[in-house]
Chain A
Amino acid sequence: MRLGGGTHEWRVRVWRASLGEGLGITMFDFNVIYLGLALLWVTSPFGNNLHHNENATHGQFAFTTSESGNYLACFWKDGSHQKDSELTLGVDWKTGIAAKDWESVAKKEKIEGVELVLRRLKGIVETIRGNLIYLRDREADMREVSEATNARVAWFSIMSLGVCIVVSVLQIWYLKRYFVKKKLI
């Protein structure tokens, strides 16, 4: 995937992805085409700086996510460039099951060919199942919030009518008492 420079001048390109916790390795492979000078920062959701690279034309970086949230990878165009020079970034960003180092798994367990491929497919299926469970739990949460809001809307509307009536009764009672006291009635 590439984020282009666009027709307007840009100083920084930010690559932001929302990642869950403990996602295993997130691999991050980038290369800068054309005048090749860039500054790279990778930060975690809490602002910890995970990776810093200056004057980079290409690089590779992998990390394990410990918090869930938005991870930012920022690329700055070096100040030595002209303002309008276009800098193309090619970024290959893999997370979760796609980032797993399959060559080392193949060597370690001495499997190859179709068996290795089927292992990868099994990994994908497990990811799918995890996603389904996540979605189901979220739906359950939201259903509870929706039902609570539904009950509240009804209850608060009736209560607002009650408040209205109570307040006007109090008004009339007070004014009557006031006028009687002032001997106007």
Chain B
Amino acid sequence: MESKWGKIWGLIGLLLLNFVNNVSSLSLTITKVECVYEIVRSEGDIVSGNFVVVDHHIFWSSDHPGLDFSITSPGGDILHNLKGTSGDKFSFKAPRSGLYQFCFHNPLSTPETIAFYIHIGHIPNEHNLAKNEHLDPINVKIAELREALEAVTTEQKYLKSRDAVHRSTNESTKTRVIGYTVGEYMLLTIASVLQVIYIRRLFSKSVGYNRI
């Protein structure tokens, strides 16, 4: 009886550890350099995440080349390096535990806003079963199931951010179509009225007969 309770609490304790790393999408405004740090508790954990640049505030798409993104491991090696991106997914297996650094660098002076999400997944593998008698093989399967669901959630956060960007592009296109077309019609009308007025003046009496 005692060992069963101990087993159950051990199970709950171990699984609760997995849940600590669940965070929602974070909004960062990057003026020059911004870094986010995350602790990876054990080697072999799978770190997956994504980021999308929202609210571009640019007129033409060639205005802003995008952000630079890099992931640095606790040992100082750069695991991942992207230049000029407007959003990407990443996923890697942590080679060691420790503090990982996710840095964004903005090459231009206009601040950019990004939506950022990381998930660190830990699956207690079969190796630990021999060491820890409180670990039931079902835990491994449940952890795998949970990691699969978290992968879906991570993907959904990415899709939501991209959807927000797409929507703002759509709205901007709609506004531009209407605004620029109405402006074009008005400009056309004004230009032709000015033409008529000018021609009238050319033929007016004060200029003199038969001058033209």
Contact = CB atoms under 8 A, between A and B. Distances in A.
A8 B203 contact: no
B191 to A, nearest CB: 9
Interface SS of chain B: helix, strand, loop or mixed?
A: helix
Closest 9 CB pairs of A and B: A98-B22, A16-B27, A95-B24, A2-B37, A156-B181, A131-B156, A113-B8, A167-B192, A124-B149
A127 interface: yes
B163 A121 contact: no
A67 interface: no
Given A98-B19, A128-B152, A4 B203 contact: no
Contacts of A182: 203
> For this complex, into which size category does the number of interface residues on chain B fall?
35 or more
Contacts of A113: 8, 11-12
A19 interface: yes
Given A2-B39, A160-B181, 8 more contacts: A96-B24, A124-B153, A128-B149, A128-B152, A152-B177, A167-B188, A171-B192, A178-B203
A21 interface: no
Given A16-B27, A135-B163, A142-B170, A171 B145 contact: no
Interface string B166-210: 110011011001100100110011001001100110010000000
Contact of A94 (B23, B38, B142): B23
Interface string A1-41: 11110111000001111110000000000000000000000
B10 to A, nearest CB: 10
Interface of A: 1-4, 6-8, 14-19, 70, 92-96, 98, 102, 112-114, 116-118, 120-121, 124-125, 127-128, 131-132, 134-135, 138-139, 141-142, 145-146, 148-149, 152-153, 156, 159-160, 163-164, 167-168, 170-171, 174-175, 178-179, 182, 184
A109 B200 CA distance: 91
A163 B183 CA distance: 13
Contact of B185 (A16, A121, A163): A163
A116 B12 contact: yes
A15 B156 contact: no
Given A112-B8, A128-B152, A179-B203, A1 B36 contact: yes
Contacts of A92: 20, 23
A71 to B, nearest CB: 9
Nearest to B185: A163
A120 B24 contact: no
A103 to B, nearest CB: 9
B146 interface: yes
Contact of A17 (B27, B153, B184, B196): B27
A163 B192 CA distance: 11
Contact of B156 (A1, A6, A7, A132): A132
A178 B200 contact: yes
Contacts of B46: none
B93 interface: no
B192 A168 contact: yes
A17 B115 CA distance: 8
Contacts of B184: 160
A102 to B, nearest CB: 8
A162 B12 CA distance: 73
